[in-house]
Amino acid sequence: MNSQIKKINLNHSFIFFLFCNIFSVIVFKFTNLDISTLFCLLLILTIGVSHGALDHLKGKKLLTILNIKKFYIFYLIYILMALSVILIWIIVPVTTLIVFLAVASFHFGKEDTQFLINKNSNLISILYFFRGLLIIITPLYFNFDETVTIFKMLLIDSEQFYSSLGFIEKYKIIEIAIGLSALSSIILFLREFNIKKFAIFLDFFSIIILNYYLSPLVAFTIYFCFLHSIRHTISLAIEMDNSNLKNGLKLFAQKAFPLTVLTAIFSVLSLYFLNNFYELNSAILKIIFIGLASLTFPHILLEYFLEKNEK
């Protein structure tokens, strides 16, 4: 099954790389082509969020392993954690943002690469982090001012925080981080070399291309929906039916639909509420990034505890 995943994901990386080049050139050529924040939100609420919409099944599996029969406990803990992240973000937005970016870097690096790696170690985890850091750091490199504007819309109003960003920009720390990300990709590529590992470099250059040509939000949306989410969806579909990917995807869609719709409804209601206090684009950005943070933390913890207890 691992060989099948590697082959499918290599093809996916190649198609995504071609898509990034073609799409970016079209947007670059037609500079008046505006991709709205609302459209990005719709993509994230459908394709993006759906890859985590099987967490209730994973939660049930974890509770079974732990011999806990009251399934509502999972929903209660999951929802409380998500709401806690939102509350903590409102109280200490700078700290929460920094922690979220660090956790997201590791999560993106691991989820997008682990299908190629046969062993886990502390070194591999560090390499995952620096590989995923590329998604966080390239918007600052290519679109520094626009990325800072997004931070401001996420309730980040600390002068000290923006001073540190200026320090990072002045002393080329962003370039160093991109170099470390490239180095981590090379090391992961060379460890137990396999031709299918070219997916690592295809993904690396796809992210660079997206952020070079597109705005930070559009670049992130395309990466999150069409690389990260689809890759995770493929692995879940193969788990459901490793002999028939098409049927696996069908089963995934059926099982992911309820929570995807529920998340979308909650997000739309939140957008309606926030739009009373903020202009639309600002409200949408809060829904996207603070909302993703609130879902990412319980999602990652669930993956961690499930993996640990399965072993």
For residue 242, the model assigns a pLDDT of: 83
Count CA within 13 A, CB hemisphere, residue 292: 26
Say whether pLDDT at 45 is over 70: yes
Say whether pLDDT at 34 is over 80: no
Say whether pLDDT at 32 is over 70: no
Q: Which pLDDT tens digit goes with each residue over 287-309?
A: 999 999 999 999 999 988 888 87
Integer CA distances (angstroms), 90 to 86, 94, 98, 242, 263, in order: 6, 9, 14, 43, 20
For residue 41, the model assigns a pLDDT of: 94
For residue 226, the model assigns a pLDDT of: 95
Closest CA to 230 of 238, 98, 183: 238
87 in a structural domain: yes
Q: Which pLDDT tens digit goes with each residue over 84-141?
A: 999 999 999 999 999 999 999 999 999 999 988 888 889 999 999 999 999 999 999 9
| Domain residue limits at 150 | 2-17+38-310
DSSP 116: G
The pLDDT confidence band at residue 6, using thresholds 50, 70 and 90, is: confident
For residue 160, the model assigns a pLDDT of: 85
Buried b (16+ CB within 10 A) or exposed e, 87-101: ebbeeebbebbebbb
The pLDDT confidence band at residue 30, using thresholds 50, 70 and 90, is: confident
Share of the chain above pLDDT 90, in %: 63
For residue 273, the model assigns a pLDDT of: 94
What's the structural domain count of the chain?
A: 1
Neighbours of 109 (CB within 10 A): 26
For residue 33, the model assigns a pLDDT of: 60
CA distance 10 to 2: 12
264 in a structural domain: yes
54 in a structural domain: yes
107 in a structural domain: yes
Give the lowest-confidence range in 19-28, 36-45, 124-133: 19-28
CA distance 298 to 78: 6
Note the pTM of the prediction, 2 decimals. Answer: 0.92
For residue 54, the model assigns a pLDDT of: 86
294 in a structural domain: yes
33 in a structural domain: no
265 in a structural domain: yes
Average pLDDT, the chain: 90
CA distance 207 to 17: 9
195 in a structural domain: yes
The pLDDT confidence band at residue 31, using thresholds 50, 70 and 90, is: low
Structure-token pair, residue 91: 């109280």
Residue predicted with more confidence, 216 or 244: 216
CA distance 190 to 184: 10
Closest CA to 48 of 246, 270, 206, 264: 264
